[in-house]
Amino acid sequence: MPLTLRARITFVSVLSLFLLMATPGVRVRADPPNPPAAPTNLRMTLPANGSQVPPGSWIAANKVQFHFHVTASIGTLTPQIELASPENGFTGQPSASGPRVSTGGQATVTSGGLADGTRYVWQARVVDNRGTPSDWVAFNTGAGPANDFGVDLTPPQRPVIASPSNPDQTTWYNTRAVRFTWSARDTGSGIKGYTFVLEQHAHVILPGSLTSQTSLNLNNLSDGTWFLALRAEDKVGNWSPTATYRVQLDRQPPQVTWLSPRRFSFNPYRGSTTVRFSVTKTASVRLRLYRVGSTRMVSTFSFQRLAAGAATSLSWSGRDGHGHIVPRGFYFFSVRAIDRASNIGRYTVGAIDVSPDRGVRAATGQLLYPTGGKLIIVSLAREELYAYDGTRLVLETPVTTGNPNLPTPAGSYTIMAKYHPFEFISPWPEGSQYYYPPSLSQYAMLFRDGGYFLHDAPWRSAFGAGTDGAGQPGTNYGGTHGCINIPPSPTFFLWNWAPVGTNVQVM
């Protein structure tokens, strides 16, 4: 086309446009600018280590980096994100912006101050330098979880431990199989697993290997105190405080040790008898008394709490529950001991030959019993000696006791030693009114410290009443120096009949 024609056409076009704009009632509208392209490839990372945050996961951080791809054709773009809760939804108002992007590529927006225990959804857009925004693009397109991520900075609560087999931590049990159960709560990411140790002292445990189990059965624990220590971890790595549970095991029954003679005789008419026993561990003890050959219980003795190793005395009058003297026979105790863990020990102890024989009056008025054994009675008033075997009188003889100035001491004694022969040496010097020359006795039996003897007296021919006078000691009618003089034949009998330990009553 010729140049002049092209210029004319251009001029006419411009002129026509000018005339159109100048014509009254005619408006011209410019087309709006095109918006920037929407972001793509949305993803999240943690600023601390750059690790990827999977959709729907929980994080133990209050800051997240949001990344997405942008396309910048003209000018610069400002990346923006909006955070919202799944319940409330988006409002279209940005929550945070990132650095401007002048060329296409990755944009990053960092958002901090995220609230603990909160779930979030997010969307992204860009705004060009003319203020024109792109469309919002949601991270979750509807195919993923309800929330894009959640913030969990709070550890799980301290786990709750229980034991169906040992429900009271202050009680001792004799259970053979011990069972534990436990659970923990976490309001954020949820429980991932547990770590535990079983030891004999309680302490705070460190995080350890995880298990998903929530119960434990044990059949081989030894006696003693045990502690199960346990912690829970949530799904973002927060650990709960340590929880402990104490189990006290005692499976050995208490033992009863009998401290009295294994077998002895007892006459209820002579008074009560006392037996002694102990237990190896603190326990409640019940003793039931039975007669051999009978299933009928005679009496019961109960002790609520006896300390381990302490000796306990039990007194029995020889009577039944109605207050009657029991019949002659052989009696024993059936014992049941229960400790703190309800372990029960059952034993048969004691062997008592009960001989309920009434007493017989001796010549001196004393009550004697068939099972009383050998007894020598010396009457100071009668100057007479009586020897009894139980209730049977085996010897009666006159004797001479102490001078009024050197009296024979009254009391209960035993024969301490026997001598044959024995020479008496005066403890008083020559010239003393009590001096006597060395005197030989054939049979002498010491019954009291200080030189008091039962012995024959070859130098004396008179015995009995009136021979204990105030005359010269050692003469026929002057009393002794405190000993008991006996005629030769009765002395010989007593020497052979009365062993060391025989009771001597001087009255």
Strand ranges (E), 355-491: 360-361, 367-368, 374-379, 384-389, 392-398, 411-414, 417-419, 422-424, 439-441, 444-448, 452-456, 484-486
Rounded Cα distance between 111 and 94, Å, is: 11
Rounded Cα distance between 148 and 139, Å, is: 7
3-state secondary structure of 481: coil
Asked whether residue 81 carries a pLDDT value surpassing 70, the answer given is yes
Q: Which residues of 10-47 are buried (b: 16+ CB within 10 A; e: fewer)?
A: eeeeeeeeeeeeeeeeeeeeeeeeeebbbbeebebbee
Listing DSSP states for 318-365 in one string gives SB-TTSPBPPSEEEEEEEEEEETT--EEEEEEEEEEE-----EE-TTS
pLDDT digits (tens, 9 = 90+) for 424-476: 999 999 999 999 999 999 999 999 999 999 999 999 999 999 999 999 998 99
pLDDT digits (tens, 9 = 90+) for 339-359: 999 999 999 998 999 999 999
pLDDT (0 to 100) of residue 2: 43
pLDDT (0 to 100) of residue 335: 97
Mean predicted confidence (pLDDT) in 20-45: 72
**Which of these, 348, 314, 351, 350, lies nearest to 330 by C-alpha position?**
351
pLDDT (0 to 100) of residue 349: 93
Listing DSSP states for 247-263 in one string gives EEE--PPPPEEE-S-SS
Measured CA distances, 472 to 403, 477, 481 (Å): 8, 8, 10
- Ordered by where they begin, the domains of the chain are 40-151 (2.60.40.10), 160-249 (2.60.40.10), 256-354 (2.60.40.4070), 360-506 (2.40.440.10)
Asked whether residue 23 carries a pLDDT value surpassing 70, the answer given is no
Reported as a pLDDT band with limits 50, 70 and 90, residue 112 is very high
> In the predicted model, what is the mean pLDDT of the chain?
92
pLDDT (0 to 100) of residue 493: 97
Tokens 């100071």, located at residue: 380
pLDDT (0 to 100) of residue 363: 87
pLDDT (0 to 100) of residue 125: 97
Asked whether residue 24 carries a pLDDT value surpassing 70, the answer given is no
Mean predicted confidence (pLDDT) in 123-144: 88
Rounded Cα distance between 334 and 298, Å, is: 11
